[in-house]
Amino acid sequence: MSQPALAQPGPTPPPPEATERTYFPELDGLRFIAFMMVYLFHGGLPPGIVSRLIGRSAAGALRENGGYGVQLFFILSGYLITALLLREEARYGRIALRAFWVRRILRIWPLYYLIIAIGFGLIPALEGNLGTPGYRNMLRNHLIPFLGFLGNWSMALVTPLPDWLSVLWSVCVEEQFYLIVPLLIALVAPQIRRPLVAVLIVGSIAVRWMCAQRYGSQLMIVFNTFAQFDTLLSGVLLALCLGSDRDRPRLTRWLLWLQWPLYLAIGWVMSQPHLGHGTPWHRTWDFVWVWLCGLGVVIVAVWGQGWLRAALSHSRIVWLGKISYGLYMYHEIVLWARGRIYDVLPWIPKKEELVAIGALSLTIAVAAASYYFYERRFLELKRKWTRVPSRPV
């Protein structure tokens, strides 16, 4: 009789948390797209380079409206945070608020306070501005609010800051948002959440309308937490309606056709001159058209099939999205350094283009070094507080 073959050992099964990880790599790709929109808006690349890559009209539109990449960051934050909280509630029956806030602290605070130290201390020292009346006024008006994540309000009510510090306003808005979302999920009955979020979205639009009617300055809209909350809440509503389950074949089939009108709508909206400016109507509703388009892109990226999801899931794009927090936080500092370097360099052919490409490369290098040698030390501490794993550290 032949002996039965010995069973070959199969591959070691992954730990349970690895199979239950809530992670969408294509949304990391979207984060990089959001960063590049902001980078172009801030003049990171000369118009000539951008025009040769995507055409003059598209380059002009991105230069004018690329700042709405921040809205895409907001949508992604609202959606992903809520999806993770809902998964945690489904698994454990409750939301661990303390663990959530500790995770946010470990992700946001280390780099945020490093940029504050650089922006309020190092750069003014290098410029020789320490002790000047303007520097003392900046400290008096902005330092304490920014230390408490309220700097967007000091920018709205007092005066804007230099570019290398002004990027922090959106982090302040998100930190204020992170105080609200877990409470909404933890304390509000499931059947009431979606109507409540819809009401809050309408309230935020109403606040923006009142600000547009009352204030001539755009600062009271752009830096106003309550006037920006509808964008963040739109991501929350998306998570409440669709969750994070990718197995939605009917939606995927519909998106095969609906994605094309969406791309046309995005092209039309982003090509409009001076989005969010002009009449109170535009200053109020242009933000809505932007976040509706942003929601559509997220839906196609998560549940669609085709070129967009494949492009956003490319390993290099995903990696750039992984370090996008650093890209966003450091890019204005690098652009400040670029200006100083440009002034001292002798003339060389294509000087502006070469310096611009070098600045983008340096931004990526600095963000990568910050992630691997500074931020990741704190991210590894998150494991103790993680209940629903998301992106691997």
What are the tens digits of pLDDT across the range 312-361?
999 999 999 999 999 999 999 999 999 999 888 888 888 888 999 999 99
Residues in the chain: 393
d(CA 347, CA 355): 11
Question: Would residue 6 count as lying in a domain?
Answer: no
Strand, helix or coil for residue 220? helix
Question: Would residue 331 count as lying in a domain?
Answer: yes
Amino acid 12: pLDDT: 40
Amino acid 392: pLDDT: 67
Question: Would residue 10 count as lying in a domain?
Answer: no
What secondary structure letter does DSSP report for 349?
Answer: T
Amino acid 393: pLDDT: 65
The answer to whether the CB of 270 falls within 8 A of the CB of 61 is yes
Question: Would residue 302 count as lying in a domain?
Answer: yes
The answer to whether the CB of 161 falls within 8 A of the CB of 142 is yes
The answer to whether the CB of 271 falls within 8 A of the CB of 247 is no
Question: Would residue 51 count as lying in a domain?
Answer: yes
What secondary structure letter does DSSP report for 383?
Answer: G
d(CA 180, CA 208): 19
Question: Would residue 13 count as lying in a domain?
Answer: no
**Residue 42 is part of which domain span?**
23-385
The answer to whether the CB of 60 falls within 8 A of the CB of 81 is no
Question: Would residue 353 count as lying in a domain?
Answer: yes
Amino acid 58: pLDDT: 72
Question: Would residue 7 count as lying in a domain?
Answer: no
Counted domains in the chain: 1
d(CA 139, CA 146): 10
Which residue in this structure is represented by tokens 């790599």?
25
The answer to whether the CB of 269 falls within 8 A of the CB of 289 is yes
User: CB atoms < 10 A from the CB of 380, how many?
Assistant: 11
Q: Which residues of the chain have pLDDT under 70?
A: 1-21, 392-393
The answer to whether the CB of 388 falls within 8 A of the CB of 88 is yes
d(CA 86, CA 240): 8
Token pair recorded at residue 264 = 């046309």
